[in-house]
């Protein structure tokens, strides 16, 4: 899903000399307009006929793409599962545990799409602390009346995706675990059957402060989630406590 650390995760993968991940190929609507278009596009990727900035001169042992759940993946899941299993495609599911922090990121990114706070340019990802600080100044207002339904909707999509693709060769990752445990990236490299390397990304995290400092109407959000199954999100950080 968007704003779950997938951009950062993909830059880590692409820093490996034997991995080429080609980005959000299916962000282009024509490529997902019907199942035939989807499968034809996948064939291009896995027949190594797709050229992108991720292409390597070194021996590529793992090639793939970043695919958001709302880009045809769920809509055509039966045909895609059959394709994955027939061609031996491995899937990495990347989710975010704290759905409230994800929502803050979604709203802030949507705001910047219009506001273009960095010299009139919209940036979904940044590469300096200065840029991150500019974007982090915006504090979104969250619709309290829709909040619980929104969080439940995201949970349902997550559960459905894992149910749909349970027969494929796959692994499940969480953004917070990748941040807190370097071994998880070693596990990913083992899953992709590539040699272990120290993977690097130049992306800088935007929202680093406590969640209470990131939301304009914090009291409303707190009172809405207090006493519910989502109360854990009120204090949960992306980082371990010192």
Read off the CATH number of the domain in which 134 is found. 3.40.50
1 lies in some domain: no
Give the mean pLDDT of 21-44.
97
Give the pTM: 0.92
Residues 2, 55, 52, CA angle at the centre, nearest 5°?
A: 60
pLDDT band at 240 (very low <50, low <70, confident <90, very high): low
pLDDT band at 242 (very low <50, low <70, confident <90, very high): very low
The whole-angstrom separation of Cα 58 and Cα 52 is: 15
239 lies in some domain: no
* Pairwise pLDDT comparison (34 vs 240), residue with the higher score: 34
pLDDT band at 238 (very low <50, low <70, confident <90, very high): low
156 lies in some domain: yes
Q: Tens of pLDDT along 135-161? A: 999 999 999 999 999 999 999 999 999
N-term to C-term CA, the chain: 29
Cβ neighbours around 134 below 10 Å, total: 17
DSSP string, 89-137: -EEEEEE-S-HHHHHHHHHHHHHHHHH-TBTTB--SSBSSHHHHHHHHT
The whole-angstrom separation of Cα 207 and Cα 179 is: 14
Contacts 24+ apart (CB under 8 A), 144-150: 144/217, 144/220, 144/221, 144/223, 144/224, 147/103, 147/221, 147/224, 147/225, 148/224, 148/225, 148/228, 148/230, 150/103
Tokens standing for 188? 């990913």
60 lies in some domain: yes
Helices 99-115 and 129-136 sit at what angle, rounded to 10 degrees? Answer: 90
The whole-angstrom separation of Cα 70 and Cα 161 is: 11
The whole-angstrom separation of Cα 75 and Cα 54 is: 27
Cβ–Cβ under 8 Å, residues 171 and 93 = yes
The reported pLDDT for the residue numbered 55 is 79
242 lies in some domain: no
217 lies in some domain: yes
Tokens standing for 139? 């504090």
Q: Tens of pLDDT along 97-139? A: 999 999 999 999 999 999 999 989 999 899 999 999 999 999 9
Structural domain of 189: 6-234
Give the total number of structural domains in the chain: 1
Residue 96 CA, chain-centre distance (Å), reads: 8
Task: Tell me what the pLDDT averaged over the chain comes to.
Answer: 94
């Amino acid at each position: 899903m968007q704003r779950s650390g997938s951009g950062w995760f993909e830059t880590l993968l692409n820093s490996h000399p034997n991995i080429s991940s080609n980005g959000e190929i299916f962000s282009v609507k024509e490529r997902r307009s019907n199942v035939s278009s989807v499968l034809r596009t996948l064939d291009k990727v896995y027949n190594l006929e797709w050229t992108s900035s991720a292409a390597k001169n070194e021996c590529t042992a793992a090639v793939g793409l970043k695919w958001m759940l709302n880009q045809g993946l769920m809509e055509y899941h039966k045909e895609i599962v059959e394709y994955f299993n027939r061609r031996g495609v491995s899937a990495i599911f990347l989710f975010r545990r704290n759905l409230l922090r994800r929502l803050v990121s979604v709203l802030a990114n949507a705001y910047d799409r219009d506001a273009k706070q960095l010299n009139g340019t919209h940036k979904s990802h940044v590469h300096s602390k200065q840029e991150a600080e500019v974007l982090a100044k915006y504090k979104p207002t969250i619709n309290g009346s829709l909040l619980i339904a929104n969080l439940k909707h995201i949970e349902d999509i997550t559960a459905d995706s894992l149910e749909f693709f349970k027969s494929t060769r796959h692994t499940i990752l969480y953004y917070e675990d990748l941040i807190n445990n370097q071994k998880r990236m070693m596990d990913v490299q083992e899953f992709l059957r590539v040699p272990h390397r120290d993977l690097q990304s130049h992306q800088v995290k935007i929202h680093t402060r406590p969640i209470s400092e990131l939301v304009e109407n914090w009291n409303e959000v707190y009172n809405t989630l207090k006493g519910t199954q989502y109360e854990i999100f009120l204090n949960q950080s992306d980082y371990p406590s010192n």
